[in-house]
A and B are shown apart, each in its own frame.
Chain A
Amino acid sequence: MKTFGGPALFLDRSDINTDEIIPAKYLTEITKEDLKPYLLEDLKLPGFDPKSDKTFGAGAVVTRANFGCGSSREHAPWVFEVNGINVVIAQSFARIFRQNMFNCGMAAIELSPEKIDQLFSYAGAADVAIEVDVANTTLTIKGGGREESMQFEISPFDKALVLAGGWVDYADSKY
């Protein structure tokens, strides 16, 4: 099965919206690959540089509440996908963004505020990486000489979508 995760990118704010993930002016692109340079272009956070290697080298995003609010644009999960980010871990998600992630066969994982705080305690360390095992619903974070694992919950349907590689394949075989 596909592996999920990689170098962690910490985005320490709630309500990060889809316009910040991928501005509307790039919605005129008609291939997912063309979105690649514009990852998180309009997101303004202290210490965050959208153009840095850290951003473009990430494999997992850790963030706070209501991530992906706003527009229904699937360009938001796509801009992560084409940049090698296939898991977003948050305290909560906006519904459409969460569904779009699973529909693309990627993982949107919700954790309690305490567990999210625990993940953020790694944010200052160099080379923090997160590995997610969707089949066994566990994730492991490593960095700064520390390492720990935690359990998460995802719905059986969302898990089935990830295992099927997305909703089109799942629906096509079933309906």
Chain B
Amino acid sequence: MGMTTAQKIFAAHLVDEPFAGTKVLGIDVVMCHEITTPIAIADLMARGKDRVFDTTKIKAVIDHVTPSKDSKTATQAKMLRDWARRHDIKDFFDIGANGVCHALFPEKGFIRPGNTVIMGDSHTCTHGAFGAFAAGVGTTDLEVGILKGVCAFREPKTIRINLNGTLPKGVYAKDAILRVIGELTVNGATDRVIEFGGPIVDGMTMESRMTLCNMAIEAGGTSGICAPDRVTVEYLWPFISDSFASKEAAVAEYSKWVSDADAEYDKVIDLDLSNLTPLCTFGYKPDQVKSIDEMAGQPVDQVYLGSCTNGRLEDLRVAAQILKGKKIAPNVRAILSPATPQIYKDAVAEGLIQIFMDAGFCVTNPTCGACLGMSNGVLAEGEVCASTTNRNFMGRMGKGGMVHLLSPATAAASAIEGKLADPRKYL
């Protein structure tokens, strides 16, 4: 019997199997941010074990509330900053160089096919786009990861999702993943890895694959995974060109992580997306999804474009294409947060930022802020946000506020009309 990508990664990283069904894996990349890491640091200090297992395998960033908004967030940032300096962690990103972790770390080439990745952040599943096993964990798992470089898992089964056909005009990776979550429901992939494949995924950019994998957790999935291929190698080439004689050689090497043709899946779901419309959530759970045809016209107070789901350059390009020469409606305010400084710079160079500002957007620095209702765009009670983020829980972006999850194109169209709107008429 063949193996899935996840099974191959588990086999290659197995450190211990203390009990049947529990696998302790060696971890290649331990990522840290300022919200969930400081308590791990404080606990390690209290235990007299303020050490790190490997200074090169730990990556750290201040991203959730940055620049700090108050004394408490400044203290969290300081704790992470002081710790990173104390342990000489080279890959630490502070103000000026910092961005949303799941956009920044891939951009730096930190994640490679076959890697194991953990972070004290549920959207760590994003990095599975590179053919890695990447799981969000709590602070205790993170603490042990920092100290020992290991993490324990029940070996997950794999759900294979084949995205067949071609995406119609105005329909993007965000719509595809909302469709998948609607199919799986919010716990349909608990203790499962979601492996995305099929012609649509094969044709996707790494950015789009990250958008897919980012929301695996919204169906309960441990990690998203896409097979590493030529697209993966092209993205990583600036970081791996010294290690391979050619791109073909890199593709061949990484292909060892691709699921075998006779791999056993928990479930295989085929979805033909050729007739998919832009989608949008309507309730307080990410599996409550409807077509924009049904949702158009619903009121919106704020439009938010950014986050680890959809704050990358291709997202900004799509939205800017729709917004060019237009103004946002007077009844809404619109916020753009490019996910990393590089994306911000590229967007300036391409003239995209000019388009957003001319349309009436506020452009903020890279940060997670508004997505989880912490800063830079928090909603008031009763307000509604059309958002390119990943969670629509009640109060997620501010107590008593509501969130509609949608694509950057649908967000842009909604900003123009001041209500939920279909992007296809602008393309």
A residues with CB within 8 A of B: 15, 17, 19-20, 23-25, 27-32, 42, 44, 65-66, 69-74, 77, 92-96, 99-100, 103-104, 155-157, 160, 166-168, 171-172, 174-175
Contacts and interface: CB of A to CB of B under 8 A. Distances in A.
Among B36, B140, B396, find the residue whose CB has the most chain A CB atoms closer than 10 A. Answer: B140
A156 B19 contact: yes
Interface string B7-40: 0000000011011111010000000000110110
Contacts of B85: none
B28 to A, nearest CB: 16
A133 B258 CA distance: 44
Contact of B152 (A70, A93, A167): A167
B309 interface: no
B231 interface: no
Given A27-B374, A28-B72, A30-B38, A174 B395 contact: no
A69 B121 contact: no
A100 B138 contact: yes
Contacts of A73: 35-36, 138
Among A30, A31, A172, find the residue whose CB has the most chain B CB atoms closer than 10 A. Answer: A30
A116 B73 CA distance: 40
Contacts of A96: 122, 136-138
B161 interface: no
Given A17-B393, A24-B373, A103 B65 contact: no
Given A15-B187, A167-B140, A172-B49, A30 B42 contact: yes
A81 to B, nearest CB: 12
B190 A94 contact: yes
A66 B121 CA distance: 18
26 contacts: A15-B186, A25-B374, A27-B374, A29-B72, A31-B39, A66-B190, A69-B186, A72-B124, A74-B138, A74-B140, A92-B187, A92-B190, A94-B220, A95-B190, A100-B138, A100-B139, A104-B140, A155-B22, A157-B19, A167-B140, A167-B152, A168-B47, A171-B148, A171-B150, A172-B147, A175-B16
B236 to A, nearest CB: 26
A20 B19 CA distance: 34
A25 B150 CA distance: 30
Interface in B267-285: 285
B372 A171 contact: no
Interface of B: 15-16, 18-22, 24, 35-36, 38-39, 42-43, 47, 49, 64-65, 70, 72-73, 75-76, 79, 120-122, 124, 136-141, 143-144, 147-148, 150, 152, 154, 186-187, 190-191, 220, 222, 285, 372-374, 391, 393-396, 399
Given A30-B75, A156-B19, A157-B18, A23 B141 contact: no
B73 A74 contact: no
A28 B39 CA distance: 11
B394 A20 contact: yes
Given A19-B396, A74-B36, A175 B15 contact: yes
A38 to B, nearest CB: 12
Contacts of B70: 28
A17 B42 CA distance: 26
B148 A100 contact: no
Given A25-B373, A28-B76, A175 B395 contact: no
B138 A70 contact: no
Given A71-B122, A96-B138, A104-B140, 5 more contacts: A25-B374, A30-B38, A30-B72, A42-B394, A74-B138
A70 B79 CA distance: 26
A167 to B, nearest CB: 5
B152 A157 contact: yes
A32 B154 contact: no
Contacts of B154: 155
Given A30-B42, A72-B36, A92-B190, A103 B148 contact: no
Contact of B140 (A30, A44, A70, A168): A168
Nearest to A23: B395
B158 to A, nearest CB: 14
Nearest to A157: B22
Contacts of B393: 17, 19-20, 70
B138 A95 contact: no
Contacts of A94: 187, 190, 220
A160 B16 CA distance: 15
Contacts of A66: 186-187, 190, 220
Nearest to B120: A72
A16 to B, nearest CB: 10
Contacts of A19: 372, 391, 393-396
A32 B220 CA distance: 26
A103 B399 contact: no
